[in-house]
Structure 1
Amino acid sequence: MSKTYFPNIDKIKYEGKESDNPLAFKFYEADKVIAGKTMKEHFRFAVAYWHSFCNGNSDPFGVDTRVMPWSPAGATPMDAAKYKLEAAFEFITKLGAEYYCFHDVDIAPEGATVAESEKNLQEIVGMAKQYQKDTGVKLLWGTANLFSHPRYMNGASTNPDFEVLCHGAAQVKAAIDATIELGGENYVFWGGREGYMSLLNTDMKRELDHMGQFLRAARDYGRKAGFTGPFLIEPKPAEPSKHQYDFDAATVIGFLKAQGLADDFKLNLEANHATLAGHTFEHDIQTAVDASMLGSIDANQGDYQNGWDTDYFPHDVYDTTKLMMILLESGGLTSGGLNFDAKIRRNSVDLEDLFIAHITGMDVFARGLITAEKILTKSAYKKMKAERYASYDAGKGAAFEKGELDLVALRDLAAENGEPKSISGKQELYESFLTQYI
């Protein structure tokens, strides 16, 4: 690297929970083994290129507040892209993250034509490939931004104008090619404007079928081009559209099965998107796990006093503990990882703030993992949960689960057994485990 963008920050080290150094890990020890795997293997942490290096802390009510030395005034779009790439790899290696993620237009500027856009992306991908080789940083997933450009104001694959859909396909083809070239382990689709503002002008069935056909075409191209990893869909209920077709985990799973895509596609779940859908994050994670369709995770959190996608860095140990309990019991992430799809706050304008935010996020997940492992191995949690469903383990309950009892047989058992006794759900006791072991 020819220039240093974070000259006053060294590689982030683990110093333990007694440290008061904001630029040190308190809980995250990459090589510490918990439940049979190192922390690094459990989390597969990734840095989100768009929020970390493209977002100057603007919001719907104000322009950028953050000065980014990798985006100097007067630089050509391609030169700025090269500076940004250099800064990104310096940051990621100093942080000690294993992966990064990007949209096509995050790393390379869009050109005046499809061919020029492809040329720009190919040039930057060539540089990124060398940086990956030099640093050991890997690509968790790539994707195409099919929501920012004005052409996508009515969607991309669901757009009523076929010419717009073709432009979306061109971007996806180029982004899949880039992902393959960089050894990306997944490829993501986020349908930011795949939805509607009003049903009055929307043929919903036709749009959903178009989206399914678009995804099949992308899958077929990717497989033919040599991409072997999972394709991922990222649910979100609304914003920017009034209603987005990928509403939540259950909706996406149903859509993928209906469209015959469930064998090639899994879910990339984001915490803030789950809460916007009215769920807890662990609800959507458990839904995907139960369907064997959890692919990867975007790690952030919302603000329960704001009804929009704030994308804060995660800092709630209770949330990360509950998430890690699910991941530990289900075998954890395979090709996916924990990507910090999160923004520093608008008034966080120092270069070190980006490091502090990621360090806090990595620490809060590490602490969640440590706590989750203790709950699962030292408390009565698993035994109590199993006992709660014990009536289905043998006898008539087991026969019901096997489909051996019809409705008449169930009615006769109710008449024979009389009124069931009340059995406590012990919810407060389950909740106390979190407090006890944190």
Structure 2
Amino acid sequence: MTEFFKDLNRLSYDPDSTDLAFRHYNPDEVVAGKRMEDHLRFAVAYWHSFAWPGGDPFGGPTFDRPWFDESMQSARLKADVAFEMFDLLNVPFFCWHDADIRPEGDTFAESLRNFQEMVDYLGTKMEASKTKLLWGTANLFSHRRFMAGAATNPDPEIFAWSAATVKNCMDATHKLGGQNYVLWGGREGYETLLNTDLRRERQQAGRFLQMAVEYKHKIGFKGAILVEPKPQEPSKHQYDYDVATVYGFLKEFGLEGEVQMNIEQGHAILAGHSFEHELALAASLGILGSIDMNRNDYQSGWDTDQFPNNVPEVALAYYEVLKAGGFTTGGTNFDAKLRRQSLDPVDLIAGHAGAMDVCARGLKAAAAMLEDGTLEAMRAERYAGWDSAEGKALLDSDFATIAAQVESGGTPPEPRSGRQEILENIVNRFV
């Protein structure tokens, strides 16, 4: 054991505990025919938990971690602490960016050597742990070289650097047995049209994603390729704004059968949607892959990456996940970070434990709503007319034929209540 978590013990399920424990998350509890752990598939985000220093736009770092320097020794210590936390929380998965796990070198080759050495070190840690890799990804946004994007950069050299980075991150994900690979364009957007060629940048982004899919098949990676929508973060005009925008992009470049979505709660809100909307839309399009679970500050409106604490919101999200058949390679990644004033190691454990309990409550509520069946029955009743012979015939008809039928008819149709308040009351019985 390192010194960082030396005074903490592994958390257990104890609903009556007044100490740090799980009060709702019981990994072995069977919900809707499956263990809770297998439904939720929790993952810890390496970047927020171990790499983020606690800064914000108005102030510098507040966290003082013993591994906060650019050395391989500190990178190994960070990994040691990370796996200790994974064990304390008993989580099945974690996720990383390349820059989270290795120090930056003076050249690409040096950074790559550091990265590959740390990948091997993580592999050794994983051999002694139950925690596996949910997904890997590349940090193509923090360094100043990416200030104008990565795949969409106006400089070919940056595109090439980015492609080489993703190639090596995909190799590492494959080597560590990762179940997905995520591409998220933190700076794949623009600030002003005065210096932007929209058509050119879109073509670059499309070809970049095609290359990633081609390389997946070349190396025999069996996991899913996921794209994460990133509205307004940080560019106002992001090419990967929301699920609908990304799906149109996938269709344009022939990738709708190859790529799925990793959907974040905070990004859904920034796009002007609800989390459940983005999940339901992705499921209806057959591209729901995985989720990042967090929440925004609804007063500031920004993506503050806080741990979830709203059970009704979480329940509606998992309702859509369960309706879609649940996760396959995906899971629930906590893309969430401590507040700047939460300085102690125990805060990291408490933040995740509380979030896991919230998700457990939401999952159980979602499963109970589905088992009850009232919501789905009322939805089916609302659209029942389309299942009749007349309803089915409408979509195979044409305007002239339909108009003739309507013009020869009698009483005009009357609208029916959508029953929204009744439906909301039904949800409230479970949450």
Alignment-derived partner of residue 420 in structure 1: 413
Measured in 2, the distance between the counterparts of 1:226 and 1:422 equals: 54
Measured in 1, the distance between the counterparts of 2:182 and 2:318 equals: 23
Answering whether residue 249 of structure 2 is matched by residue 252 of structure 1, we say no
Q: Secondary structure at the match of 2:96?
A: strand
Q: Secondary structure at the match of 1:192?
A: coil
Measured in 2, the distance between the counterparts of 1:432 and 1:160 equals: 52
2:163 counterpart (151, 169, 172): 169
Kept after mapping to 2: 8 A contact 1:103/1:142? yes
Q: Secondary structure at the match of 2:182?
A: strand
- Write the letter of the residue equivalent to 1:20: T
Per-residue deviation, 1:281: 0.6
Alignment-derived partner of residue 298 in structure 1: 292
Answering whether residue 120 of structure 2 is matched by residue 120 of structure 1, we say no
Measured in 2, the distance between the counterparts of 1:432 and 1:317 equals: 15
Per-residue deviation, 1:418: 2.8
TM-score, normalising length: structure 2? 0.97
Alignment-derived partner of residue 59 in structure 1: 56
Per-residue deviation, 1:151: 0.7
Per-residue deviation, 1:20: 2.6
Alignment-derived partner of residue 8 in structure 1: 7
Measured in 2, the distance between the counterparts of 1:380 and 1:160 equals: 53
Alignment-derived partner of residue 260 in structure 2: 266
1:55-97 deviations in Å (ceiling 9; x for gaps): 12111111121222343xxx55211111101100000111011
User: What is the 5 A alignment of 1:365-384?
Assistant: 365-378=359-372, 380-384=374-378
Alignment-derived partner of residue 404 in structure 1: 396
Alignment-derived partner of residue 427 in structure 2: 434
- Write the letter of the residue equivalent to 1:58: G
Per-residue deviation, 1:168: 0.7
Any stretches of 5+ residues in structure 1 without a counterpart? Answer: none
Aligned-pair RMSD on alpha carbons?
A: 1.3
Kept after mapping to 1: 8 A contact 2:70/2:103? no
Per-residue deviation, 1:181: 1.0
1:24-74 deviations in Å (ceiling 9; x for gaps): 111111011111111111111000000000112111111121222343xxx
Per-residue deviation, 1:417: 4.5
Q: Secondary structure at the match of 1:140?
A: strand
Kept after mapping to 1: 8 A contact 2:66/2:74? no
Answering whether residue 42 of structure 2 is matched by residue 45 of structure 1, we say yes
Q: Secondary structure at the match of 2:278?
A: helix
Kept after mapping to 2: 8 A contact 1:70/1:87? no
2:272 counterpart (275, 278, 285): 278
Aligned structure 1 segments of 4 or more residues deviating by more than 3 angstroms: 412-415
Measured in 2, the distance between the counterparts of 1:262 and 1:373 equals: 29
1:375-429 deviations in Å (ceiling 9; x for gaps): 22225222111101111111211222xx322112322343315322231111011
Alignment-derived partner of residue 283 in structure 2: 289
Alignment-derived partner of residue 303 in structure 2: 309
Measured in 1, the distance between the counterparts of 2:330 and 2:273 equals: 22
Answering whether residue 176 of structure 2 is matched by residue 182 of structure 1, we say yes
Per-residue deviation, 1:5: 2.0
Any stretches of 5+ residues in structure 2 without a counterpart? Answer: none
User: What is the 5 A alignment of 1:75-114?
Assistant: 77-114=71-108
Answering whether residue 344 of structure 2 is matched by residue 350 of structure 1, we say yes
Kept after mapping to 2: 8 A contact 1:231/1:265? yes
Q: Secondary structure at the match of 2:128?
A: helix
1:19 counterpart (17, 20, 23): 17
1:263-309 deviations in Å (ceiling 9; x for gaps): 22111100000100000011111111001001110000112211221
Q: Secondary structure at the match of 1:25?
A: coil
When structure 1 is superposed on structure 2, of 374-383 and 33-42 the one drifting more is 374-383
Kept after mapping to 2: 8 A contact 1:25/1:363? yes
Alignment-derived partner of residue 216 in structure 2: 222
Alignment-derived partner of residue 149 in structure 1: 143
- Write the letter of the residue equivalent to 1:151: R
When structure 1 is superposed on structure 2, of 273-282 and 344-353 the one drifting more is 344-353
Per-residue deviation, 1:226: 2.1
Q: What percent of counterpart residues are identical?
A: 48
Measured in 2, the distance between the counterparts of 1:58 and 1:435 equals: 38
When structure 1 is superposed on structure 2, of 59-68 and 287-296 the one drifting more is 59-68
Measured in 2, the distance between the counterparts of 1:226 and 1:375 equals: 40
Q: Secondary structure at the match of 1:102?
A: strand
The count of aligned residue pairs is: 430
TM-score, normalising length: structure 1? 0.96
- Write the letter of the residue equivalent to 2:210: R
